[in-house]
Amino acid sequence: MRYLETFSTGYGALPPRANPATDAARLSLNGTWRFRLTPTADTPADFADPAFSDSGWDEIAVPSHWPLQRRDGSWGNPIYTNVRYPIPVDPPYVPTENPTGDHRLTFDLPGGWPGGDALLRFEGIDSCGRIWLNGTELGVTFGSRLPSEFAVGHLLRPTGNVLAVRVHQWSAGTYVEDQDMWWLPGIFRDVTLLARPDGGLTDVRVHAGYDHRTGLGTLRVDTVEGAVLTCPELGLSAAPAGFAIELPVTPWTAETPHLYRVEVATGAERAVVAVGFRTVVIEDGLFKVNGRAVLFRGVNRHEFDPDHGRVVSEELMRTDLVLMKQHNINAVRASHYPPHPRFLDLCDELGMWVIDECDLETHGFGENDWRRNPTADPAWRDALVDRAVRMVARDRNHPSIVMWSLGNEAGVGDNLGHMAAAIRALDDTRPLHYEGDRECRHTDVYSRMYADHAEVELIGRGEEPPLDDPELDARRRAMPFLQCEYAHAMGNGPGGLHEYQQLFERYDRLHGGFVWEWIDHGIRSRTADGREFHAYGGDFGEELHDGNFICDGLVFPDRTPSPGLLEYKKVIEPVRITEAGPGAFTVANRHDFADLTGLTLCWTYEIGGIEHAAGELPCPQLAAGESATVALPVAEVPGAGGGALTESAAAGESWWTLRAVLAADTAWAGAGHEIAWGQWPAVDASVVNGVEAAGSALDEAEAGFGAPRAARFDERGRLMELGGIGLVAPRIDLWRAPTDNDTHALAAQWRHAGLHRVHERTIDVIADRDALLVRTRVAPAATDAGLLVTYRWSEAGDVLRLQLDITPDGVWTVPLPRLGLRLGLPAGYDQVEWFGRGPGEGYADTRLATRVGRFTSTVDAMQTPYVYPQENGSRLDVRWANVTDATGAGLRIDGRSPFQFTARRWTSEQLDAARHLTDLVPGAHVWVNVDLAQHGIGSNSCGPAVLPGHELHAAPAAFTVVFTPLR
């Protein structure tokens, strides 16, 4: 059997170990190498010979994925499949057409390089690498996201060393690396030469526990005989390693990531390890760190760079973590493989709970009824255990890692048990996770993905349906629960986050979850005419692919936060600020460990969206879990019980906004960074509505329908012009470009029902002195379901009022995407100001991140650039909106009740037809939707549909809108 088609672990590598930073010489071999791509695995390995001339070869960057190094396809292309293998399922065999990249580097040792032992370390080769140094074969690696080290001291020469690496895209390893991501071969992580001094530190194993009852930490470092520990901060000076030392410490938590720099030294080598003291236990059915239950506000993170695939720079790793911290995220599941080792250093430093997951997924066997699944086939046992051991050996010194995961979606089988046993033997201080076995045979926590709210609630109560085996059932029922994946963040959404969070906070057994997923893996590409877009499955002509399912993250490929991330930040905010009756508010500290030192409260009092007073308050110093009620600064605020209600105050709603911000800079955000906020109306809503209506809209008594008019209607009673602005007449609109969360089930029903092709039949048009009455029936072909609509137009001066009455007719069996009015203005009316929720988009079930205020934007800036075009950009609870040109001329739209507002340069139909953002071409109009409502968002692209409370159904409806020309 050929080496790439065996069930083996590879050969030649040294036993796995941690690789701490030491003062021993090291040489990065990253850089420009020589490269040759061949279409099969069998080209003679002539290039391993140092005498071979590679002068005719191309150059390639290492680390890299070769298909991304040449974007013309001449080095192959990325392939995206989620579950299905892009090769026949025939383990351990792989196709004869097996892109094979020969990599070659000639290097000299730097001056002063010590002789003696040395290691060549590869942090990651996808999927199988065969390695030679100076003509001698070192071995073969499997385990793309795991390191391999080879002893090379005896082979090194001062100059002209030739390192040759042959990398196969497909290998037996492919079968156990079926993660939902791009298939991208290459030497994609660092290559380093490490000098190993005689008497140096071979492996370093740190044990650092914390006893929350005594406040004492226990430190033990296992390494070579004779090593000593030094840490001035801990009062340690040349203490012998290998013994447990008890001493008072500041513990490490993700919220308070206190690290001690401990030097571990022998006469020959000195390492500095970052030690965090913490103890993880499962106790009373709860997942506890340092004695306290922890709530994961997590995300699943793949490694991804839009230009370089899974080659991620340290800067990008830090960017990810900083963004997460800034958005209140406290946990990362390293889905679905051990991340680049630097990422874990940064998690230790910045503070993040991490589930480190083994590089194992065999999901595609599920397409074949799990026949020959590697986790159940004894032939794979050693290879899978090897993967688990390499992960733990590399990563166990990181305080941030609080759980090991056996892998993802790999079915069930005995090999999982063997992996679990091997992990426990190496490290019994962290619980084990694996979602794929519902019976939790080998795990310490109960984990699910995409369980809907109702199921999560049952689990929270401990009332989930029993397993067949009573013993396993009792075991599982005693376990803490988490959702290792939930709230599929594909496109617009996810909806329903808030309802999940309420459950997580209500039931102790529920330890939160990890949103799927952090990043959209769109690959930055260009159209033929040079415009940039992000490519997804199918864009590279793959014969099998899963389309844009690869773009389901909380940040866009360029790391711009999506509205979903802003919503998540608000939903999981660790400080909650709520109204507490007149003149007061409550601050609740929902951290698990941190107190509120370091936060300041900023308040504003706004009337009609205009700030009338603002200031700062000290934040009450609350320990984790505590709350306190604080008085509002009423005396300083006009109209809020303090000064007199001024005339302008009378003209608008007044709102309190309280924000908790960082008082000083931290490692991940500057002073002033907002952590949490609360907002509530300062005046009784009934007063507000009266004030608003009087201040802005049309006085009914004056309204009529006489000449001369600012408005021009056609013979069918359609509004063609107002105040000199030519309009595409307002008409009833039911359609939205389906979101990814609509797409799977609902959009098909909508299309079947014809909601994307409704027409309006005029029943009659009656004009008299009071009003213009237009009655229509709005319906698609082929169905008897429709809406009976009455438009009642009246005017006073320039001001035009529309009262709409809508009654469903026939039988409606599907919810409506939206219900409202659509009108078109000339393209120059592209500036928007509104009073309502903002600044960002919101929908019925994704509204928490928006606040009431007065906002200005442009039509272009109001679009959310989801990689796959879909409904976006709606603003909620809009009281009024001005749509104007650069001079301020245009249209003001007032709602008698708040409306949902959207403006864009293309129609919903054009948005629906687009496949990439570059398909969207501005036209002659700005299209404005004034909606009574839209259907919610949900997360049905992989998870529950819109919750019943956020659905929109055809029902009798009335709403009133007033249009005022602005000049």
Query: Catalytic residue among 409, 499, 573, 606, which?
Result: 409
CB of 554 to ligand GAL, least distance (A): 13
CB of 374 to ligand GAL, least distance (A): 17
Closer of 150 and 337 to ligand GAL (Cβ): 337
The verdict on 178 binding ligand GAL (CB under 6 A) reads no
Spatial separation of the C-alpha atoms in residues 809 and 784, rounded to whole Å: 8
CB of 501 to ligand GAL, least distance (A): 20
Tokens of 76: 């192959």
CB of 537 to ligand GAL, least distance (A): 12
In the region spanning residues 542 to 571, those forming contacts with ligand GAL, defined by CB under 6 A, are 549, 552
Which amino acid, 448? R
Answer yes or no: are the C-beta atoms of 94 and 87 closer than 8 Å.
Answer: yes
Closest-CA residue to 333 (of 366, 307, 358): 358
Closer of 61 and 942 to ligand GAL (Cβ): 942
Tokens of 469: 């085996």
Answer yes or no: are the C-beta atoms of 516 and 488 closer than 8 Å.
Answer: yes
Q: Read off φ and ψ for residue 386, nearest 5 degrees.
A: -55, -40
* Count of residues making up the chain: 967
DSSP string, 555-600: B-TT-PBPHHHHHHHHHT-SEEEEE-STTEEEEEE--SS--STTEE
Tokens of 243: 């013994």
Closer of 83 and 426 to ligand GAL (Cβ): 83
Choice from 30, 43, 82, 918 touching ligand GAL (CB under 6 A): 82
Closer of 30 and 82 to ligand GAL (Cβ): 82
CB of 254 to ligand GAL, least distance (A): 23
Closer of 409 and 845 to ligand GAL (Cβ): 409
CB burial of 647-662 (b: ≥16 within 10 Å; e: otherwise) equals: eebeebbbbbbbbbbb
Closer of 393 and 487 to ligand GAL (Cβ): 487
Q: Which residue is nearest to ligand GAL (CB)?
A: 180
CB of 485 to ligand GAL, least distance (A): 5
With residues binned 3-state (H G I as helix, E B as strand, rest as coil), the percentages for the chain, rounded to 5, are: 15, 35, 45
Closer of 381 and 488 to ligand GAL (Cβ): 488
Site string for ligand GAL, 476-515 (x = CB under 6 A): ---------x--x---------------------------
CB burial of 48-68 (b: ≥16 within 10 Å; e: otherwise) equals: bebebebeebeebbbbbbbbb
Spatial separation of the C-alpha atoms in residues 102 and 33, rounded to whole Å: 10
* DSSP annotation of 519: B
Closer of 552 and 845 to ligand GAL (Cβ): 552
CB of 449 to ligand GAL, least distance (A): 6
The distance between the two most distant Cα atoms of the chain, rounded to a whole number of Å, is 102
Spatial separation of the C-alpha atoms in residues 414 and 378, rounded to whole Å: 8
Choice from 942, 946, 954, 962 touching ligand GAL (CB under 6 A): 942
Query: Catalytic residue among 269, 457, 485, 499, which?
Result: 485
Choice from 117, 177, 178, 180 touching ligand GAL (CB under 6 A): 180
Binding residues for ligand GAL, total number by CB under 6 A: 12
Closer of 211 and 452 to ligand GAL (Cβ): 452
Choice from 516, 540, 677, 963 touching ligand GAL (CB under 6 A): 516
In the region spanning residues 353 to 412, those forming contacts with ligand GAL, defined by CB under 6 A, are 408-409
Tokens of 845: 């079930």
Catalytic residue list contains 485: yes
Question: Long-range contacts for 723-726 (Cβ within 8 Å, ≥24 apart)?
Answer: 723/798, 723/891, 723/965, 723/966, 723/967, 724/965, 725/825, 725/826, 725/829, 725/889, 725/890, 725/891, 725/965, 726/826
CB of 299 to ligand GAL, least distance (A): 13
Catalytic residue list contains 357: no
In the region spanning residues 313 to 332, those forming contacts with ligand GAL, defined by CB under 6 A, are none
CB of 336 to ligand GAL, least distance (A): 6
Residues classed as catalytic:
409, 485
Which parts of this chain interact with ligand GAL (CB under 6 A)?
82, 180, 336, 408-409, 449, 485, 488, 516, 549, 552, 942
